[in-house]
Structure 1
Amino acid sequence: MKTFNNKNFCLMLFSIAAITLLASCKKSFLDRDPQGTYTSDTYPYPKGSGPFDSEIFATYDILRSYDASGSGFIAATGIRSDDADKGSTPTDGPTSLEMDNFNITTSNVLANDLWRGYFNIVNKSNIVLDKVAKDLDPGTPAESKVFAEAEAKFLRGYAYFMLVRLFGRVPLIDKVFDDPVAQSNVAQSEPAATYTLIESDLQFAGTNLPLSWDPSKFPGRATRGAANGLLAKVYLTRQNWAAAQSAANLVITSQQYNLSTPYDDIFKETGENSKESVFEIQATANLTEKRSFGSQFASIQGVRGTGIWNLGWGFNIPSPQLEGTYETGDPRKARTILYAGGTSVFGEVVPTGLPNTRYNHKVHSNPATRNALLDNFSYWMNIRILRYADVLLMYAEAANEVGGTANTTAALDALNSVRKRARGTTPGILPDITVTDQAQLREIIRHERRVELAMEHERFFDLVRWGIAGQVLQNAGKNFVTGKHELLPIPFAQIEISKGVLKQNFGY
């Protein structure tokens, strides 16, 4: 089995009192330490990090929890879109089916999972910020305090960006409450106020986070590029085109990222934290701890079969609409859609007779890793949250909307760099785009986002921010109601906890 970068920064909740001094790690995947565990070389805390690590790691840990990146995340970002269907068997996953058909009730447990997961990240981030603000120890390195504040604000900004897109009006909680009951009774704020906090948090993070962390110690920690890339997406969502272009350009000119990773390799275990990666949620496993430090993200979407092909639940399968949208010969189609009876990127022949004919190829793990770990369920697979190609396409979209000859040229350059990587060495496919008409180029960029980022939790949010969700999703046969289904319902369980302070979204 191939080896690749050690991940000994594990983003998991742990007690400082229980820290074990570990020997230095080998490079083998199976020997990777759980991220967030100190080693004899990094105790009491690594250079460039600091005494706030336990709270920061606890916050990262929630990112890969079931509430934040499990079935709810997959259903809300993927199954609701026209790129995916529920999958699995007809009677399996009724709450995911509600998402697929837009028959979503206020008691949908997946919506409640998302609410809890992202507010948990908000609360943990606030704990970090509170600890930093109250730290008067003259021995605390100033750099550690700045990095901790920036990292916590990045995580809080990400969590609130998810919450405002999922639910619209949400409580704005930016401090630690001594009384948990009081925190449960915070009224909802308008989205504009939430976006103001998100932008402020990400601006601070984008200025104060490091350009990079030591990859041998801290792969996956938020960087300046991650903050500015996410900020670009926030600005795009609010149609602040010039600011989006500027934020994306900060990532591009940082020289930290490039498109050197072949598209086929991005989603393999060996492609984790590559030059393509701007931010991804970390996961790992070994023979002793196969799932404790991992995520169910890949398993929920894995091929649903028997024996060696019992790889997961089979949810979130590529739709016929996605299947038909690729240009002739586009290699990204084969890397995105794994067909029953077809061949995987690792050379396996997929059996026929499965519950579904298509599965998400981007979450398919290496059989060598499965065999080595004696586990089929791929908890060790990282979750790609923000890729460099996404940043380039955001830049292209923003530049085209700003307009002008120079910006059109810049948009085409960014767009065509993504297409060039996709076509690889295959001649005659995915030719460079030369269209300069703004409206036509807008549609081309939108299409490129769809095929480049297919099955990567972007499509539904893109449709909503473009204002075309109703038209597109109704055409795909979904029961989408414009003015209602752009948002999930406020979970009834949360309204009960708030004693009626929280108010339901329109139409529910």
Structure 2
Amino acid sequence: MKAYRKYTAFLICAAAASLLSAGCGRNFLDRYPQGEYTEDTYPHPAGSGPYDQYLFACYDVMRSFDVSVMPFVGAVSIRSDDADKGSTPADDANSIQMDNFTITASNSMCNSLWLGHFNLVNKSNIVLAQIKSDPSPSTSQEAKVQAEAEAKFFRAYGYFMLVRLFGRVPLIDSVLTDPAAQANVPQSQPAAIYALIEKDLQFAAANLPLTWDARFVGRAGQGAANGLLAKVYITQQKWALAMAAANQVIGSNVYDLSTPYAKIFGEDGENSRESIFEVQAVATLNEKRKNGSQYASVQGVRGTGIWNLGWGFNVPSTALEAAYEAGDPRKDRTILYAGGVSVYGEAVPAGLPNPRYNHKAHSSPTMRNNILDNFSYWMNVRLLRYADVVLMYAEAANETGNTAEALAKLELVRKRARGASTTILPQITVTDKDQLREIIRRERRVELAMEHERFFDLVRWGIAGPVLQAAGKNFVTGKHELLPIPQTQLDLSKGVLTQNFGY
């Protein structure tokens, strides 16, 4: 890439906080922060629009600590049977509560998740308000609609996380000028939240571009909206609608399973044909952390010297280890063993605080050496992969009795996993609906292991209680499917908000 003179989004609009995202295309070692314009694209790049300065705030919130780092990891992964807390036994009481289901309303992770995702909702509403109040006759209707679609994608994502985490939450679809006003909005039932999510994603899917120019790598497109919509539908067991939304992604021919599984999660696998939506993170030699994400760092190997790579949280469990079929290469790409060898050929020291670490969050030594930093703030966060959409289609097809379609989509994922081998991961031919359901569920587990899906899958399948209890967790059915409403928010509301059952 040519040399760039950079203009930060802060210089473009000082009134909008946290305007970091959307940047230019990048390769393995040539990385530029999102939210910085080039001399070719200032004041806003062709193909984008005048609302970027507000949309950037949404992308910035997505990589924040509260939305996609430690509280997120704790809620979506450590609570599942795929992961244990990790780190050291006494480290971080909040994570211990997540792991053991001794969660209280004063758990700081709960409050962080609440604040972070409502911040995303608020930033999205700000974009929508700017579009609605824009008096400029030079702003095209096309630019307005596209920006509205992008903002509604983020609002839908924020609310989808909130409703799955907390159940009843306040429905806020406009900008509240009084900072205290949010605390006085009563909770809506999940059905009303899901109705807004579906409406937002339907609009986004109809009006976002199918693809963006390479300079806008990472921006949400039609595939992200339809893929998330498929997940929203399948969570509610709206099987036919889930199939249709997933099929929109599959039929777009934008994505495929051509990226080898071993490559997807490394730096050179970012934004590949497999990627539908991932949080963009950047580090450079001169700016190591400001424009990045701490996602990989909090899961990095907890060691010493060159193996002091992070906090060591969210480690694969023995239950996950046992879930793989014999010879499945996805196991080695998911579980990094102390005393083993990394995907980059590194000899991992024995005697680390934990016997296993999340291999998918392990950065390359090449990048560590080039950035002169061990903590991997440049690692993107994969939130939606094509294989996830294919498996959602397979699951929905099976539930609607379309066995042939279910088997065909399942085979696509297994074929990529087995590679050239003829001795592992045989093609599934089971046609019994109940048996095939269990096979598809196991396939989701191993294909998407440590990727934020397992806990929510267990809950929507209605089996979280027995599965997590069997894994030794203190899960109480009818209570622990949701987190408690944070005590801080209950106090601020002065009785407007009410606590979830059992807390």
**Which TM-score applies when normalising by structure 2?**
0.96
- The alignment partner of 1:14 has SS state of helix
Identity of aligned residues (%): 69
Instruction: Sort the Cα spacing of 1:193 and 1:8 in 2 relative to 1 into closer, same or farther, 3 A.
Output: farther
- The alignment partner of 2:394 has SS state of helix
Equivalences for 1:158-197 in 2 at 5 Å? 158-197=157-196
- The alignment partner of 2:97 has SS state of helix
Matched, 1:312 2:310: yes
Q: Which deviations, in whole Å up to 9, do the C-alpha atoms of 1:364-420 show, x marking residues without a partner?
A: 0000100111100001000000000000000000010011xxx21111111000000
Instruction: Work out whether residues 126 and 174 of structure 1, in 8 Å CA contact, stay in contact via their aligned partners in 2.
Output: yes
Matches of 1:273 and 1:7, distance apart in 2? 22
Q: Letter of the aligned partner of 2:274 in structure 1? A: E
CA-CA distance at 1:434 after TM superposition: 0.6
Instruction: Sort the Cα spacing of 1:25 and 1:112 in 2 relative to 1 into closer, same or farther, 3 A.
Output: closer
Q: Letter of the aligned partner of 1:190 in structure 2? A: Q
| Structure 2 alignment gaps of length 5 or more | 16-22
Q: Which deviations, in whole Å up to 9, do the C-alpha atoms of 1:159-193 show, x marking residues without a partner?
A: 00000000000000000122222222000000000
Matches of 2:228 and 2:498, distance apart in 1? 29
Q: Letter of the aligned partner of 1:464 in structure 2? A: V
CA-CA distance at 1:32 after TM superposition: 2.5
The correspondence for 2:450, drawn from 435, 452, 455, is 455
Q: Which deviations, in whole Å up to 9, do the C-alpha atoms of 1:39-77 show, x marking residues without a partner?
A: 111111111211100110011100000010111100100
Q: Letter of the aligned partner of 2:458 in structure 1? A: L
Equivalences for 1:233-312 in 2 at 5 Å? 233-312=231-310
Matches of 1:6 and 1:87, distance apart in 2? 42
Matches of 2:223 and 2:175, distance apart in 1? 28
Instruction: Sort the Cα spacing of 1:131 and 1:486 in 2 relative to 1 into closer, same or farther, 3 A.
Output: same
Matches of 2:404 and 2:434, distance apart in 1? 15
Matches of 2:233 and 2:6, distance apart in 1? 31
- The alignment partner of 1:278 has SS state of strand
Instruction: Work out whether residues 213 and 219 of structure 1, in 8 Å CA contact, stay in contact via their aligned partners in 2.
Output: yes
Matches of 1:84 and 1:206, distance apart in 2? 33
Q: Letter of the aligned partner of 2:151 in structure 1? A: A
Q: Which deviations, in whole Å up to 9, do the C-alpha atoms of 1:134-173 show, x marking residues without a partner?
A: 1131101222111110000000000000000000000000
- The alignment partner of 2:478 has SS state of coil
CA-CA distance at 1:200 after TM superposition: 0.3
Q: Which deviations, in whole Å up to 9, do the C-alpha atoms of 1:435-489 show, x marking residues without a partner?
A: 1111111000000000000000000000000000000000000000000000000
> Which residue in the other structure is 2:52 paired with?
53
CA-CA distance at 1:325 after TM superposition: 0.7
> Which residue in the other structure is 1:479 paired with?
474
Matched, 1:467 2:462: yes
Aligned residues: 496
Equivalences for 1:125-204 in 2 at 5 Å? 125-204=124-203
CA-CA distance at 1:25 after TM superposition: 8.4
Root-mean-square deviation (Å):
2.0
Equivalences for 1:200-239 in 2 at 5 Å? 200-215=199-214, 217-239=215-237
| Structure 1 alignment gaps of length 5 or more | none
The correspondence for 1:384, drawn from 382, 385, 394, is 382
- The alignment partner of 1:435 has SS state of coil
CA-CA distance at 1:269 after TM superposition: 0.1
Matches of 1:467 and 1:357, distance apart in 2? 31
Instruction: Work out whether residues 237 and 465 of structure 1, in 8 Å CA contact, stay in contact via their aligned partners in 2.
Output: yes
Instruction: Sort the Cα spacing of 1:323 and 1:9 in 2 relative to 1 into closer, same or farther, 3 A.
Output: farther
> Which residue in the other structure is 2:437 paired with?
442
> Which residue in the other structure is 1:68 paired with?
67
Matches of 1:243 and 1:58, distance apart in 2? 31
> Which residue in the other structure is 2:10 paired with?
14
- The alignment partner of 1:279 has SS state of strand
Instruction: Sort the Cα spacing of 1:484 and 1:26 in 2 relative to 1 into closer, same or farther, 3 A.
Output: closer
Instruction: Sort the Cα spacing of 1:387 and 1:373 in 2 relative to 1 into closer, same or farther, 3 A.
Output: same
Instruction: Work out whether residues 484 and 506 of structure 1, in 8 Å CA contact, stay in contact via their aligned partners in 2.
Output: yes
> Which residue in the other structure is 1:116 paired with?
115
Instruction: Work out whether residues 318 and 359 of structure 1, in 8 Å CA contact, stay in contact via their aligned partners in 2.
Output: yes
Matches of 1:328 and 1:26, distance apart in 2? 39
- The alignment partner of 2:271 has SS state of coil
Matches of 2:312 and 2:375, distance apart in 1? 11
Q: Letter of the aligned partner of 2:119 in structure 1? A: N
**Which TM-score applies when normalising by structure 1?**
0.95
